[in-house]
Amino acid sequence: MTDRAQATRETILATAERLYAEHGVLAVSNRQISEAAGQGNNTAVGYHFGTRSELVRAIVRKHTGPIDRRRHCRLAGLSDHADLRDWIRCLVYPTTEHLAELGTPCWFARFTAHVMTEPSLRAVIIEETLTSPSLARTVEGLIRCRPGLPAEVRAERNDFTRLVLMHGMAERERALAEGAGTPRAGWRETATALTDALAGLWLAPVTK
């Protein structure tokens, strides 16, 4: 691939991520992305990425690599006595650190929230993120800390965890982009708050 073609792909990726985050995935056409990316050819998105699903997949992959590397580093530093909060930190901090590194404004958290609520594209996120070996190991470690939870409760709380993380990060990202106030000073403080909330979620009693 030539440098020019690669630069065009990167411009389209960044533009699509922003527009999807701001307006929702299905509200944005490939033509709109091409025009916003400064491409004279309105079929540029299709030419470089094919389908909308493949464009979404390319955006996800741009971020999951750095996040996964951060999670691997955290997992490597865990002791044999890692507790629930240690595993939750491995779940939370790699993404908040990545978002902090992206600066303001960034769009990945809102983009992910939109994609996960769209049935036709949700599978892309699941394939590219939820099947990550480092993420699987993190979730397994977290679950081992609550061995007494019934299987259905573990599955439910795992779903709740994903929703809290995804929408909590997306809401902070939105507030920062709009210049609105946020409850926490930075992404590190937000990660601490998310860790506290998720620890409470996993330690909550089960009503029978």
pLDDT in tens, 114-156: 999 898 898 898 888 877 899 999 999 999 999 999 999 999 9
Q: 33 phi and psi, to 5 degrees? A: -65, -45
Provide CATH code, domain 53-203: 1.10.357.10
Q: How far is CA 97 from the centre of its chain?
A: 12
Query: How far is Cα 208 from Cα 204, in angstroms, rounded to an integer?
Result: 13
Spell out the CATH class of 1-50.
mainly alpha
Report the pLDDT value the prediction gives residue 1, as an integer from 0 to 100.
Answer: 61
Contacts of 81 (CB under 8 A, 6+ apart): none
151, two tokens: 């299987």
Domain residue spans of the chain: 1-50, 53-203
Residue 147 preceded by cis peptide, ω within 30: no
79, two tokens: 């002791």
Report the pLDDT value the prediction gives residue 104, as an integer from 0 to 100.
Answer: 94
pLDDT in tens, 63-109: 999 999 999 999 999 998 999 999 999 999 999 999 999 999 999 99
pLDDT in tens, 27-75: 999 999 999 998 877 788 888 898 899 999 999 999 999 999 999 999 9
